[in-house]
Structure 1
């Protein structure tokens, strides 16, 4: 898969939809908070061992910070990770709703012009054509 070079950072070793990425996204979407491993485990619904191991690896690799009393948090100086999370958010906003059954309306939205009669549509088309011809003269 090609990468957009302006945003590409070879130092970031994250793949979307992995536990590692999910934890980074969660912490960087909430940069003003610190979270215990238990809170991360419950929020992201991951096994305890996976949460603690992944948090330790992310901390050791410099992706996230940790307070002296064990709360994990985003690092303000990691602008690359802020961009990573922002990019994922943009992709989700653009394409995510297509795959999310909870956001699909029960009834499809009416198509443009669906509530108009054939005669009304024909009259509108004629008016548009007239406007087009008037603008070309």
Structure 2
């Protein structure tokens, strides 16, 4: 994914679509909450060992904080990471909207003229043509 040069921070080693990025995004989208490794594992559907290892690396690299009783959370002072997550969300909204626009509309339950015989449709068309002629006079 390309990055804007002015927003690029070489100190942030996060790549969209990785477990590391997913955990950071999850925590920074809910900055008022702390989560245990088990809760993060369940929310993100990742293996427990992966969650524990990545959380430890993120904490050691000062991407996230940890309470004394083992709950991981976003850091208030990491505006660079908050910006990164905001950019992820913006890209997600943009592509979700684009995907929604490309999705074909659902087929209506009944098509116009469906369920009528040709004779019924011809009679209705003739009636409409007769009524249109009356308007012209």
Residue equivalent to 1:43? 43
Distance 1:49 1:4, change over 3 A: same
RMSD: 2.0
Structure 1 residue 42, shift from structure 2 partner: 0.3
Q: Could you say which residue in structure 1 is the equivalent of 2:10?
A: 10
Alignment match, 1:64: 64
Q: Which runs of 4+ in 1 moved over 4 A?
A: 97-100
Alpha-carbon distance between aligned partners in 2 of 1:99 and 1:13, rounded to the nearest angstrom: 28
Distance (Å, rounded) in 2 between the aligned partners of 1:32 and 1:25: 13
Largest Rg, 1 or 2 = 2
TM-score, length of structure 1 as denominator length: 0.71
Deviation at 1:6, TM superposition (A): 1.5
Segments of 5+ residues of structure 1 without an aligned counterpart are 109-137
1:29 aligned to 2:29? Answer: yes
Q: Secondary structure at the match of 1:6?
A: helix
Aligned residues: 106
C-alpha deviations, 1:7-49, integer Å up to 9, x for none? 1100000000110000000000000000000000000000000
SS of structure 1 residue aligned to 2:70: coil
SS of equivalent to 2:46 = coil
Output one character per residue of 1:63-118: Cα deviation in whole Å (capped at 9) or x when no partner: 00000000000000000000000000000111134457xxx46528xxxxxxxxxx
Q: Distance in 2 between matches of 1:55 and 1:28?
A: 13
User: Match of 1:127?
Assistant: none
Matches within 5 A, 1:1-137: 2-99=2-99, 104=103, 106-107=105-106
